[in-house]
Amino acid sequence: MSYDKAATAAEFIRARFPEAISTAVVLGSGLGAFGNAVENAVSIPYEEIPGFARSTVVGHAGRLVLGKVSSINVAVQQGRFHFYEGYDMEQVILPTRTFGLLGIKNLIVTNAAGSMNSDMPPGSLMLITDHLNCMGVNPLRGANDERFGPRFPDMTEVYDREFQRIADEEANAIAAERGQESGTDFLHRGIYCALSGPTYETPAEVRMYRNFGADAVGMSTVPEAVTARHMGMRTLGISCITNLAAGMVDGEIDHSHVMDTGAQTAEVFGELLRRIIGRIG
Ligand code: HPA
């Protein structure tokens, strides 16, 4: 990754939105609505940002929204770049690199994912506690620029423990306000397994990843989380469970259904994000 490329993108964004930004949020498939919750928003289509690719997936708006959530300045990625779209990893992680160079300290990564745990049904949310990178490629492969971070970054705690605690507390608070007993009703905890896609898994693959210890499968998030860790940003990951993984129920997995389920969780998902952003500052 050329440092200059990320620096140029950061400079362009800073010219449009000169205030300091605390937290960046990456919105997954079907979860883009949260971008509309940003107040005093300045929206920049990706094609205007130097070096950024275009978002080609249905359900991803393809723009960066800058403004306030819970009185905190945020940068919200409405749509991300996926490896399966044919982008190389450098393009996939350019937004994260750019956030780091903008001085953003916190990253919240979200995604739509399939559940491999029948106790975690569609419509629930999963706090990512760790991940398996089964994409077949590491986003940091290639020459390392020490200005970003070390050659061999530690991955013991990719997802910040303190942020996980805050997310749990806020989920419990939402549940209590709604008269439910505990936040775990909709905020589960688990391990996210990232695959390159674009195919969904075969039932045999789902059995294998489950035996590997994963709870949810998806096609994103790990590149951004690894990159953020490399740059010393603190990361929180949340999966929106849109379906049970292949072979766990009769019938096929369908992208439009995945999108619809994502949209159905929009209200509680947005509420949780707003509260977490207010807490992590
Ligand atoms: N597999 C992989 N990616 C996904 C799935 C799934 O079942 N659901 C949403 N994204």
Per-residue pLDDT tens digits for 251-269: 888 888 778 777 778 888 9
Q: How many CB atoms lie within 10 A of CB 260?
A: 14
Lowest mean pLDDT among 121-125, 172-176, 182-186, 246-250: 182-186
Band (122; pLDDT cuts 50, 70, 90): very high
85 is catalytic: yes
Strand, helix or coil for residue 234? strand
What is the per-residue pLDDT for 261? Answer: 79
For residue 22, report the distance from its CA to the centre of ligand 1, in Å. Answer: 30
Which atom of ligand 1 sits closest to the CA of residue 114?
7
Go through the domains of the chain in sequence order and give each one's CATH number: 3-280 (3.40.50.1580)
CB 220 within 8 Å of CB 264: no
Angle at 66 between CA 64 and CA 68, to 5 degrees: 145
Tell me what pLDDT residue 258 has.
77
Average pLDDT over residues 10-39: 94
Predicted TM-score of the model (pTM):
0.94
At residue 281, the pLDDT reads 85
Residue 157: strand, helix, or coil: coil
Distance 16 CA to ligand 1 centre (A): 35
The pLDDT > 90 percentage for the chain reads 81
Place of tokens 């979860």: 31
Would you tell me the crossing angle of helices 89-101 and 222-230 to the nearest 10 degrees? Answer: 40
Task: Give me the pLDDT at residue 175, please.
Answer: 87
Q: How confident is the model at residue 238 (pLDDT cuts 50, 70, 90)?
A: very high
Which of 11-15, 30-34, 196-200 bottoms out in mean pLDDT, i.e. has the lowest?
30-34
Catalytic member of 60, 131, 188, 230: 60
Do 84 and 198 touch, CB atoms closer than 8 A?
A: yes
> Which pLDDT belongs to residue 121?
92
pLDDT tens for 55-99 read 666 655 799 999 999 999 999 999 999 999 999 999 999 999 999
With cut-offs at 50, 70 and 90, classify the pLDDT of residue 176: confident
pLDDT at 278: 96
The pLDDT of residue 275 is above 90 = yes
* 82 counts as catalytic: yes
